[in-house]
């Protein structure tokens, strides 16, 4: 009797250990970029096991890069949808992938594959700004950290070494990595802080692993990126094309006036007239 209970407890704790394993694996390997129920750096993975086959998922998770290179249509489409941000290849076993997929499945609402809801990408939550002045100085600090006018406390490289943003507040950045002008709109405060603390991209891991960005610094940079994406959505880019048309029009009219003045004399007799006289002569 006692034995049966002990075995029962063992089985229960074993299965919960496995379930937890999936959760932990997900959190540690995927959580900086993926969430269930919202998009972050990468797509929302809710119900993913209904959308894609296990086999495809296994291949994709191990090496998105090889699947994309092989020309797999779905993989290429997701890459394009996600602004060409490439998910790094994961050093992960089949069993670990199974555990992660099981965790995802258990934490996705049960729906049949055919009428799985097409998820509207959820907007990242906006933090509430209570003190506008403090916020403005946070944004300014973020801009200075971003382009190196203020050094990171732990000596990490400036963001402009690799990234650019479209903002008058900073001087031109690098093009090694993606432009971050609208990154806040896509991944939000949580996503940016997640990238800075989790360092899911190899290039950033190399740069910041031993020089972590502090929480305060991350908050400032995130506030700056929020402002940049807001500004770029609100300002109408100056319309050079119509300037050319409307600025050019008076010029063209003046030129036409000058030409018609110069040619005035020559036009007294029409072209037809000279042709007519030539033909008369040849008779
Ligand atoms: C550095 C960020 C990052 C990490 C870490 C990461 N992913 Fe991704 N993932 C992405 C991005 C970005 C995409 C979409 C672009 C692409 O195809 O590369 C993606 C796409 C996916 C897709 C395809 C989704 C679809 O709609 O078909 C799956 C599945 C996936 N990831 C699973 C995982 C799992 C599981 C892990 C953890 C083992 C993981 N990812 C870790 C960034 C990441
Ligand atoms: C050594 C180069 C390097 C530096 C320095 C660097 N990054 Fe990155 N970052 C990358 C690369 C590479 C990626 C992966 C995406 C890509 O290919 O552009 C990335 C991705 C990101 C992403 C996710 C982009 C997205 O669209 O989902 C964010 C956010 C980000 N970086 C913020 C920062 C911030 C903030 C700093 C400064 C604290 C910084 N990075 C410094 C190279 C760098």
Render pLDDT for 118-157 as a digit per residue (tens, 0 to 9). 555 555 567 778 888 999 999 999 999 999 999 999 999 9
The model's confidence at residue 204, banded by pLDDT at 50, 70 and 90, is: very high
Rounded CA separation 23/29 (Å): 10
Q: How confident is the model at residue 100 (pLDDT cuts 50, 70, 90)?
A: very high
How far, in Å, is the centroid of ligand 1 from the Cα of 280? Answer: 85
Ligand 1, atom 40, residue with closest C-alpha: 30
Architecture in CATH of 132-234: Orthogonal Bundle (1.10)
Residue 267 has pLDDT above 70, yes or no: no
Instruction: Answer yes or no: same fold for 2-115 and 132-234.
Output: yes
Cβ contact 64:75 at 8 Å:
yes
Can you say how many angstroms the Cα of residue 207 is from the centroid of all Cα atoms in its chain?
20
In this prediction, what percent of the chain has a pLDDT beyond 70? 71
The hierarchical CATH code for the domain 2-115 is: 1.10.760.10
> Closest Cα partner for 171 from 147, 152, 144?
147
Average pLDDT along the chain: 81
Ligand 2 pocket: which residues have CB below 6 Å? Answer: 41, 83, 85, 157, 159, 161-163, 176-178, 180, 183, 187, 192, 195-196, 201, 203-204, 207, 213, 221
Any atom of ligand 1 within 6 Å of the Cβ of 201: yes
Please give the pLDDT value at position 115: 46
Domain ranges in the chain are 2-115, 132-234, 240-282
For residues 36 and 167, what is the distance between their CA atoms, to the nearest angstrom? 32
Q: What angle do CA 196, 197, 199 make, to 5 degrees?
A: 70
pTM across the whole model: 0.65
Tell me the mean pLDDT in the region 254-274: 66
Q: Which ligand has the shortest distance to the CA of 27?
A: 1
Smallest-distance ligand from the CA of 160? 2
Q: Which atom of ligand 2 is nearest to the CA of 187?
A: 27
Which of the residue ranges 104-113, 128-137, 157-166 has the most confident prediction, judged by mean pLDDT? 157-166
User: Tell me, what's the pLDDT at 232?
Assistant: 85
The two tokens of residue 170 are 């900073």
d(CA 158, CA 149): 9
Residue that the structure tokens 């109408």 belong to: 236
3-state DSSP assignment of residue 177: coil
pLDDT recorded at residue 85: 86
pLDDT average, residue stretch 241-269? 62
- Given a cut of 80, is residue 1 above it in pLDDT? no
C-alpha–C-alpha distance, residues 81 and 72, integer Å: 14
Residue given tokens 């003190």 in the structure block:
131
Query: What is the structure's pLDDT at 276?
Result: 65
Ligand 2 probe mutation, 162, 185, 221, most atoms within 8 A of CB = 162
Q: Cα(194)–Cα(22) distance, rounded to whole angstroms?
A: 20
Q: Is the model's pLDDT at 186 over the cut of 90?
A: no
Query: What is the rounded CA–CA span in Å between residue 252 and residue 240?
Result: 18
Q: Which residue's CA is minimally distant from atom 27 of ligand 2?
A: 41
Q: Is the CB of 43 under 6 A from ligand 1?
A: yes
Q: Token pair of 268, please?
A: 């007294």
Ligand 1 centre distance from Cα of residue 90 (Å): 9
Q: Which atom number of ligand 1 is nearest to the Cα of residue 57? A: 29
Is the shortest distance between the CB of 92 and ligand 1 below 6 Å?
yes
> Does the beta carbon of 165 sit less than 6 angstroms from any atom of ligand 1?
no
Atom of ligand 2 nearest to the CA of 213: 38
Please give the pLDDT value at position 173: 77
- CA dist 236 to 133, 222, 231, 239, Å? 26, 23, 10, 8
* Residue linked to tokens 């941000």: 85
- 3-state SS, residue 39: strand
């Amino acid at each position: 009797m006692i034995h049966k209970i002990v075995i029962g407890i063992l089985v229960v704790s074993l299965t919960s250990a496995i379930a937890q394993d999936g959760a932990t694996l997900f959190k540690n390997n995927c959580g900086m970029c993926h969430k269930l129920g919202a998009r972050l750096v990468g797509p929302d993975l809710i119900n993913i096991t209904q959308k894609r086959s296990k086999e495809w998922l296994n291949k994709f998770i191990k090496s998105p890069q090889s699947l994309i290179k092989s020309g797999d249509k779905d993989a290429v489409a997701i890459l394009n949808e996600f602004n060409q941000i490439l998910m790094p290849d994961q050093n992960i076993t089949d069993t670990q992938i199974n555990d992660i997929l099981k965790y995802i499945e258990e934490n996705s609402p049960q729906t049949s594959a055919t009428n799985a809801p097409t998820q509207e990408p959820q907007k990242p939550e906006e933090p509430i700004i209570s003190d506008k002045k403090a916020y403005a100085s946070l944004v300014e600090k973020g801009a200075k950290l971003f382009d190196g006018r203020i050094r990171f406390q732990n000596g990490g490289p400036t963001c402009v070494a690799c990234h650019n943003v479209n903002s008058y507040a900073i001087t031109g950045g690098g093009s090694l990595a993606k432009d971050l002008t609208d990154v806040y709109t896509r991944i939000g405060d949580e996503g940016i802080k997640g990238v800075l603390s989790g360092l899911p991209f190899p290039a950033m891991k190399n740069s910041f692993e031993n020089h972590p960005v502090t929480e305060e610094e991350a908050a400032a940079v995130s506030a700056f990126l929020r402002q940049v994406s807001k500004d770029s959505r609100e300002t109408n880019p100056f319309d050079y094309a119509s300037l050319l048309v409307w600025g050019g029009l008076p010029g063209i009219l003046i030129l036409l006036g000058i030409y018609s003045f110069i040619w005035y004399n020559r036009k007294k007799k029409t072209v037809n007239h000279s042709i007519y006289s030539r033909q008369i002569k040849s008779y």
